Structure 1
């Protein structure tokens, strides 16, 4: 078991500073995703202040180590271990209530966190969004501001009459402008981006990789050194997913031990989606491997070999985003391996870029 040194510069108080050296026992990272902290904000993207406090007190009392997301990701990419029970906290969008309702609790607990900011409402001084001064204050207590694009667009969609090259130039500008603002206004960029609505395609992900920017989607799962760092998973912790009972299961989950994932692409069509997962060599509880399709129940599962499985939805997705979540109990444990994938079924009028060409 490896030993790592944690410096005070990486941690803003909390139990991981009890010793200069701790044993690194975890090589994966669950990441919690929030949006609003409020009682009158949209249910699907909100936790109440009481729920948020309940989540953080559980983390504190159950021995979880809340770590800085950027530092944790860098360690995993380098094959280094994290503190046992490490977890990271993130927010999407630069909502004012993060500062007003969430930040006081985070500061009380000395928990670091990341806010993915879309900068247009900040620059226009929208009263429902954070100000630069509020962000600077939060930075002093462990907050990191990261990229969520300028205008929060559907990145995979072109505008009316927009060519392929014009669409891609606009998307690149959405990313690059925020990177510049983070450095110029807040002092630095962690080079992390959360895709608005969790949507990205191969071209966008390749662009981020060229810039050495880590990308985050909205599919659920646990990050490890084997993950695709252009499209990392997070666990939603708001709305219907805010119940502490279900959150506990996700927090204790570990990555699905995979060597290859074939999803058939980013888009769903008129046929049921299907994906194939290839497992690392090992003994697993494959008889208890289960997958659920959003809005459909259990998926059809076909083991092609002892290490390869095909998962197929029972029927085609409706328009919009659909997902398949797969779990499998960890051998000799009550925890679960977890993997999820999201597809988009586009309407023609929505203008999704479905091919790498000037034609749509």
Structure 2
């Protein structure tokens, strides 16, 4: 009887030992998994924190000396060559480095490092005076810029717009060319998918055929959009789209709703926008 009780005691102790070992193993495995998950989340958080940036987009249109009796248009969209030179000089002297929208996308994908104080300089619509006045200043300060083109005026030879040869010259000098639709419609009012596709994808294909490059960046005509436009831009393979809503692009912002500043002669406003 005593021997039987001893055997039971030994067996019970052994079973308790085995169960304890198994429980300890499970605890260690769960604790290790939790530690690994915490470390993974910490790495992601650190990566996001390191990617915190703010990039101003400067939006220019016509660049020309002011003309009498065009005050309203000039105040809203135009900048004189002298004012543009002053703004570029300020950027250069204060350590700003120009980048393309496609650079920003590559940076966010982990494929590119951005310089200190990055800024995007953009010109909309494809006016000939951008080539005449802005392009030489861009080269003078060794800047980069993107020119958002809508090509219908070019195809019909309209006056005051860029030519394909001028665009190719700027492209060869390192400028980026972006899609600005085919005819510059107010996209918020476009509800027909066929029309939207022709405006966005049709322009992208036209630019790519004419220039022999891939087009990755888009700017909304008049700066506004609807959900159909965003959907079509994404399906066309464009990786960013810029509005004219005022503000600075910050990490985590929607790449298809990028903000920017309409920039004209007012130097004090130019400075306020940079510091915002």
Q: Do both share a fold (TM > 0.5)?
A: yes
How far residue 61 of structure 1 moved from its aligned partner, in angstroms, is 0.8
Taking the aligned partners of 1:236 and 1:228, their CA distance within structure 2 comes to: 19
Given candidates 252, 267, 270, the residue that maps to 2:275 is: 252
How far residue 128 of structure 1 moved from its aligned partner, in angstroms, is 0.8
Given candidates 156, 164, 167, the residue that maps to 1:132 is: 164
Taking the aligned partners of 2:108 and 2:229, their CA distance within structure 1 comes to: 23
Confirm whether residue 114 of structure 1 aligns to residue 143 of structure 2.
no
Q: Which residue of 1 aligns with 2:204?
A: 179
Segment of structure 1 superposing worse, 50-59 or 224-233: 224-233
Taking the aligned partners of 1:210 and 1:59, their CA distance within structure 2 comes to: 36
Structure 2 residue matching 1:174: 3-state secondary structure: helix
Confirm whether residue 53 of structure 1 aligns to residue 76 of structure 2.
no
Confirm whether residue 29 of structure 1 aligns to residue 55 of structure 2.
yes
Taking the aligned partners of 1:215 and 1:74, their CA distance within structure 2 comes to: 15
How far residue 125 of structure 1 moved from its aligned partner, in angstroms, is 1.1
Q: Which residue of 1 aligns with 2:119?
A: 87
How far residue 81 of structure 1 moved from its aligned partner, in angstroms, is 5.1
Taking the aligned partners of 2:108 and 2:267, their CA distance within structure 1 comes to: 27
How far residue 189 of structure 1 moved from its aligned partner, in angstroms, is 2.8
TM-score (norm 1): 0.58
Q: Which residue of 2 aligns with 1:203?
A: 228
How far residue 82 of structure 1 moved from its aligned partner, in angstroms, is 2.1
Taking the aligned partners of 1:65 and 1:125, their CA distance within structure 2 comes to: 35
How far residue 232 of structure 1 moved from its aligned partner, in angstroms, is 0.8
Taking the aligned partners of 1:177 and 1:207, their CA distance within structure 2 comes to: 11
Return structure 1 stretches of 4+ with deviation > 6 angstroms.
none
Q: Which residue of 2 aligns with 1:5?
A: none
Q: Which residue of 1 aligns with 2:134?
A: 102
Structure 1 residue matching 2:187: 3-state secondary structure: coil
Taking the aligned partners of 1:62 and 1:197, their CA distance within structure 2 comes to: 31
Taking the aligned partners of 2:261 and 2:178, their CA distance within structure 1 comes to: 18
How far residue 178 of structure 1 moved from its aligned partner, in angstroms, is 1.2
Report matched runs for 1:339-354 at 5 Å: none
How far residue 74 of structure 1 moved from its aligned partner, in angstroms, is 2.5
How far residue 77 of structure 1 moved from its aligned partner, in angstroms, is 4.8
Structure 2 residue matching 1:206: 3-state secondary structure: helix
How far residue 207 of structure 1 moved from its aligned partner, in angstroms, is 2.1
User: Which 5+ residue runs of structure 2 have no aligned equivalent?
Assistant: 1-49
Equivalent pairs, count: 220
Which structure's residues are more often helix, by fraction? 2
Q: Which residue of 1 aligns with 2:32?
A: none
Structure 2 residue matching 1:116: 3-state secondary structure: strand
Taking the aligned partners of 2:219 and 2:99, their CA distance within structure 1 comes to: 18
Given candidates 159, 178, 181, the residue that maps to 1:149 is: 181
Deviations 1:203-257 (Å, cap 9, x if unpaired)? Answer: 211222233321111101111330111111011112xxx322222232233xxxx
How far residue 76 of structure 1 moved from its aligned partner, in angstroms, is 3.0
Taking the aligned partners of 1:25 and 1:230, their CA distance within structure 2 comes to: 18
Given candidates 255, 260, 268, the residue that maps to 1:229 is: 255
TM-score (norm 2): 0.74
Q: Which residue of 2 aligns with 1:243?
A: 266
Structure 2 residue matching 1:32: 3-state secondary structure: strand
User: Which 5+ residue runs of structure 1 have no aligned equivalent?
Assistant: 1-23, 159-163, 254-360
